[in-house]
Amino acid sequence: MQHLVDTNDFNDSQLIQIMNDAKAFKTKMPSKILEDKLLITLFFESSTRTRSSFEVAAKRLGASVVHLDPSKSSTNKGESLEDTFENLAAMEPDGVIIRHEFNNTPKKLANKALTPIINAGAGNNAHPTQALLDCFTMMEHFGVDKPEELKGKKLAIVGDIVSSRVASSGIRLFTRLGLDVILVAPKPFMPNNDLPQYEDLNDVIEKVDVIMSLRAQLERHKAPIFEDYNEYANKYCINKERMGNREILLLHPGPVMRNIDISDEMLEDKRSKVLEQVKNGVFVRMAILKLILDN
Ligand code: ASP
- pTM for the predicted model, two decimal places: 0.96
Q: What's 201's DSSP letter?
A: G
Which pLDDT score is estimated for 219?
A: 86
Q: Which atom of ligand 1 is nearest to the CA of 215?
A: 8
Dihedral angle computed from the Cα positions of residues 16, 21, 27 and 33, in that order, rounded to the nearest 10 degrees: 180
Phi-psi region of 113 (alpha: psi -120 to 50; beta: other; left: phi over 0): left
Which pLDDT score is estimated for 217?
A: 85
Dist. CA 161 → ligand 1 center (Å): 11
Q: Which of 2, 1, 32, 38 is nearest to 18 (CA)?
A: 2
Dist. CA 36 → ligand 1 center (Å): 31
Q: Which of 81, 7, 8 is nearest to 43 (CA)?
A: 81
Q: Would you say the CB of residue 215 lies under 6 angstroms from ligand 1?
A: yes
Instruction: Classify domain 7-128+278-293 at the CATH class level.
Output: alpha beta
Which pLDDT score is estimated for 115?
A: 98
Domain 129-274 in the same topology as domain 7-128+278-293: yes
What is the C-alpha to C-alpha distance for residues 161 and 27, in angstroms, rounded to an integer?
A: 34
Q: Which CATH architecture has domain 129-274?
A: 3-Layer(aba) Sandwich (3.40)
Cβ 191 vs Cβ 172: under 8 Å: no
The rounded mean pLDDT for the chain is: 96
Q: Would you say the CB of residue 208 lies under 6 angstroms from ligand 1?
A: no
Domain ranges of the chain: 7-128+278-293, 129-274
Which pLDDT score is estimated for 227?
A: 81
Dist. CA 50 → ligand 1 center (Å): 9
Please list the ranges in the chain whose pLDDT falls under 50: none
Mutation choice for ligand 1 from 127, 219, 278, CB with most ligand atoms inside 8 A: 127
